[in-house]
Structure 1
Amino acid sequence: MSRPFFIGVAGGSSSGKTTISARLVELTGEDHLSRIELDSYYLDRTDEPLEQRRLANYDHPDAFDWALLNDHLAALANGASVQVPIYDYADHNRSGETRTVTPNRIVVVDGILVLYDRALRDRFDLKIFVDTAADVRLIRRLERDVAERGRTVESVIEQYLTTVKPAHERFIEPSKRYADVIIPEGGLNRPAIDVLLARVREVATTPNDG
């Protein structure tokens, strides 16, 4: 089986990474494109009490299981399916369940730090950074975390100021220099998505012996 074409989609929290990745899946088809979220690879914190898990810095590189993610991408590159952990945001931990990801022609990995880890970065055939203004990202994060994750406005703002913003400035924004393509305004940038989709469709229909 030919090696998948790997795409990494990075960017700040609520920049529009998920919108772009989901749009690619929708328009390309699940039989051609598999998607992996970096959030699935948060470290297993089963041995920590809930309160300690709540206080962890989930925007720092140390929060992720890079070895497992790299192992999974290596397996996909060799034509094997993998069992990706399912993360429970309410419990701040892996749920204990997994989902099967198959080595389709295209594999998209999206997350805040997918261009940070060098070993992971070197696996990507196309590296994308979604560049969205900080105020827009904060508003989106507030709306999402309050509506979908049961958070209070105060807790979201506190987390943003203490961990999200510092981590963005220290780790995420500098990783932009590794991107092949920078997409301003994320999922709202229709022309950029159309160009990206054209490239993805080209890859999906072109045989690869790599």
Structure 2
Amino acid sequence: MIPSFVIGIAGGTGAGKTTVARELTEGAGDSVTRIPLDNYYKDLSHLDMDERAEVNYDHPNAFEWELVREHMEALMEGQHVEMPQYDFTIHNRSETCTTVQPTDVIVLEGIFSLYDERLNDMMDLRVYVETDADVRILRRIRRDVIDRGRDLDGVIQQYLNTVKPMHEQFVEPTKKHADLIIPEGANRVAVNLLADKVHAEINGTTTELREASSPGRPE
């Protein structure tokens, strides 16, 4: 099976892009695959824990882009891949991988999903999820402290020192590559239209995204 449609979903930390991606994949069974870009942070096993904690994970250089491209190309050619798994509690990849099979629709999701030119060329639809910065930082704090066991002060300092400046320098500019901009995170109208598009691709029919979902790709 060779996937017929590739979607990239980008946006700042806490914007809601993972929620959007999950809503597109849930209920689609084996027809849609979600690829979290976070799994492709570089392997830092050569560094100790303290050194790994100091790495700027919000910079494009933190990712192993060649492996992302290789895996996306393989899936598009109908081949399975062994996707690495990332453990945020140790700032490194885990020792296990997940076997990912090719499907009708592939969703690549992460802050830099629209950053790499070669990946953009592989995509049929590029989506940017845009949410107010105050909402994003609150979501980030809740996620990192509650779900990932991080220290609150450390999360706040990381946001101010790296997350915010990296967003402004590298993430937000990728919005210009988007075909579709979803305002306020998981905007229900836009998500429903996207879901309709995904189901149409799965069923082999065609459908156009309505203008009501968002502005088109900005100039």
Q: TM-score, normalising length from structure 2?
A: 0.92
Q: CA deviation at 1:26?
A: 1.0
Point out where structure 2 has 5 or more consecutive residues left out of the alignment.
Answer: 207-219
CA distance in 1, matches of 2:183, 2:46: 40
Partner Cα separation in structure 2 for residue 194 and residue 53 of structure 1? 39
Contact 2:182 2:190 in 1 (8 A): yes
**Could you tell me how far apart the structure 2 residues matched to 1:39 and 1:2 are?**
24
Once residues 128 and 59 of structure 1 are traced to their aligned partners in structure 2, the CA distance between those partners, rounded to angstroms, is 19
How far 1:207 moved relative to its partner?
A: 7.1
Q: Secondary structure at the match of 1:116?
A: coil
The residue type equivalent to 2:140 in the other structure is R
The answer on whether the counterparts of 1:4 and 1:103 sit within 8 Å (CA) in structure 2 is no
Per the alignment, residue 169 of structure 1 pairs with: 168
Superposition pairs of residues 59-208 of structure 1, within 5 angstroms: 59-187=58-186, 189-206=187-204
1:32 aligns to what? 31
Q: What is the one-letter code of the residue matched to 2:39?
A: S
| Displacement of 1:174 | 0.4
Higher relative contact order (CA 8 A, sep 6+): 1
What 5-or-longer segments of structure 1 have no aligned partner? Answer: none
Using the TM superposition, give the Cα deviation of residue 121 of structure 1 relative to its aligned residue in structure 2, in angstroms: 1.2
Distance 2:154 2:4 in 1: 40
Describe the SS at the equivalent of 1:34.
strand
Question: When the two structures are aligned, how many residues end up with a matched partner?
Answer: 206
Normalising by the residue count of structure 1, what TM-score does the alignment of the two structures yield?
Answer: 0.95
Q: Distance in 1 between matches of 2:190 and 2:34?
A: 19
RMSD between aligned alpha carbons? 1.2
Identity fraction in percent: 47
Cα-to-partner distance string for 1:118-142 (whole Å, 9 max, x where unaligned): 1111111000000001000000001
Give the Å deviation of 1:2: 3.5
Q: Are the counterparts in 2 of residues 4 and 76 from structure 1 also a CA contact under 8 Å? A: no
